[in-house]
Amino acid sequence: MDLQAVKQRFGIIGNAPLLNAALQTAVKVAPTDMNVLIQGESGVGKESFSKIIHHLSGRKHAPFIAVNCGAIPEGTIDSELFGHEKGSFTGATDKRQGYFESVNGGTIFLDEVGELPLGTQARLLRILENGEFIKVGSSKVQKTDVRVVAASNRNLLDRAQQGKFREDLYYRLATVPIRVPRLSERKEDVSLLFKKFSSDFSENHHRELLELSSEAQTLLENYPWPGNIRQLKNISEQICVLENRSWITDETLKQYLPPVVNQLPMLLEKTAEGNYEGMSERDIFYKVLIDLRRDVNDLKKVVFGLLDSQDGQQVPVSSASKQDIGGFRKFPLHEESRFLQPPAHSQSELSTYPKSRTEDGDFIDAETFGADDTNDLSLETKEIELIRLALTRNNGKRKKAADDLGISERTLYRKIKQYELE
C-alpha cells in the first residue's frame, strides 16, 4: 500500500525520514502474523502504529483491543488478560473471559508491556510460544490464536539486566522492532502538526484560524517537546482558547511553552581539551570510586602528619588551637608542606589511631583506611575487589551482594564466573 495513502487513512501527519521508515516497516510487517514491538517515548503515537498493523493485516475483520499494562493493578492483571473461574479468589462471583480469550483470531495491543509482573510475563511467554493459557483458578489448558503487538517507552533489555523483565520474552515480542521517533527528531513536521491541531480545534469550536510568524515557527521547531505530540496538541489548543488574535508571534508562543529543566550532565572521561566523553556508566562509576579513594588517601596523609606535628608526639586533633578549622590546624605553608608525604608508622602506632565506623557499622582501622593501592587503576581489578567485598560482607549470599552492588543477581553470577571467583 502506498505510504501517502496510509498516512491519509490513519491521520498521520509528517514527512520526516525517521517517521517514514517506521511506517514502511509497519506496512511491510502488517500482512504477516509476526509479533511486533513498538518502542518510543510517551506521547509519540505508538497506538496509531498498532492500529495500522491490525487494519492492514488478514485479521482486520477480527477484534482489536488495546490494553495499558501499567494501568491494571498487579493483583488483577492475570484475571484481566487470561480470565478466571468462579470462586478462584475473593470477589470472583462469576466465570470471566480474559482478553486473550475474547480477542481470539484478532490482535491485542499491550501498551507499556515492561510494567507486567514477572509472573504474568511467564504466562504471556507461553501464549507466544504455543498459544496456550490457563485461567486463574483453573487447571484446564486453553488455546487461543491472537497476534500480539507490544509497546514500551522503556529499554526492555536494560530492564532484563536489572531482573525486571524476562529476556526470553523480549526476544519473543521483538520479532520485528519498530522505533517511533520523538517529536524533537521530526523538526520539519512540528509546524504542520501545530496547524493541523489548531485547525481542527478552531473548526470544532468556531474559533479563528491561527497563523504563525516565521520566528514562532522556528521557536516551535527548536523546542525539545519532552511531552512529544501530546504536548504539542495541548499547547495548540491552549492558544486557540486563550488568545484573542489569530497572528501568533514568538513572544506570544513563549508564554505557553514551559521552560525545560536540563538534567545535570553525567561525568565523562576528560579529553586533552578538558572535556569528558566516551565512557560507559560502569567506567564512570569506577572512575569516581578511584578518584574518591585517592582523595581519601591524600586526606589521610595530611591527618597523620598533623597527629605527629609536634616533636614526633601524637597530638589529638581535638586539642588544636582556636585557629583550627574543621578539626585541622592551621600551619604556615612551609610547615604544612612537610606533611604531604605519609609518615612511617609501626603496627603499634597504627593501633593507637581512632577507628572509623562505616555506614554498615563496621570499624575500619587506620591501617586498612590508609592502604594505598591506587597504583593499580585497572577497572577489572577494582570490579573484582568490589565483588569480593560485597560477597564477604554478606557472608557469600549472592542476592544480597548483588543488591549492595546495584546489579542484578544474574549479572553477579556472570561476573563471578568470568573472574573465576567461585
In whole angstroms, give the CA distance from residue 304 to residue 353. 9
Quote the distance between the C-alpha of residue 80 and its chain's center.
Answer: 27
Q: What is the pLDDT of residue 284?
A: 64
| CATH of the domain spanning 378-422 | 1.10.10
Long-range contact list for 22-27, CB < 8 A, 24+ apart? 22/49, 22/178, 22/179, 22/180, 22/181, 23/49, 23/52, 25/176, 25/178, 26/52, 26/53, 26/56, 26/178, 27/1, 27/3, 27/52, 27/56
In whole angstroms, give the CA distance from residue 221 to residue 225. 9
Reported confidence tier of residue 399, pLDDT bands at 50, 70, 90: confident
For residue 179, the surrounding DSSP H or E stretch is strand 176-179
- Higher-confidence position of 178 and 205: 178
Strand partners, 38: 151, 178
Please check the confidence at residue 126 and state whether its pLDDT lies above 50.
yes
What CATH class has 3-181?
alpha beta
The dihedrals phi and psi of 364, each to the nearest 5 degrees, come to -120, 120
What CATH class has 186-254?
mainly alpha
Please check the confidence at residue 172 and state whether its pLDDT lies above 60.
yes
How many CB atoms sit inside 10 A of residue 283's CB? 13
Q: What is the pLDDT of residue 303?
A: 66
User: Lowest-confidence range among 116-120, 161-165, 279-283, 285-289?
Assistant: 279-283
Each residue's pLDDT tens digit, 76-111: 999 999 999 988 888 888 888 999 999 999 999 999
Domain boundaries, the chain: 3-181, 186-254, 264-371, 378-422
Give the closest residue to 53 by CA, choosing from 36, 39, 69. 36
Q: Is 325 helix (H, G, I), strand (E, B) or coil?
A: strand
Each residue's pLDDT tens digit, 300-330: 777 666 656 544 554 444 444 444 444 444 4
Residue that the C-alpha cell 521552560 belongs to: 259
Reported confidence tier of residue 369, pLDDT bands at 50, 70, 90: very low
The overall average pLDDT reported for the chain is 80
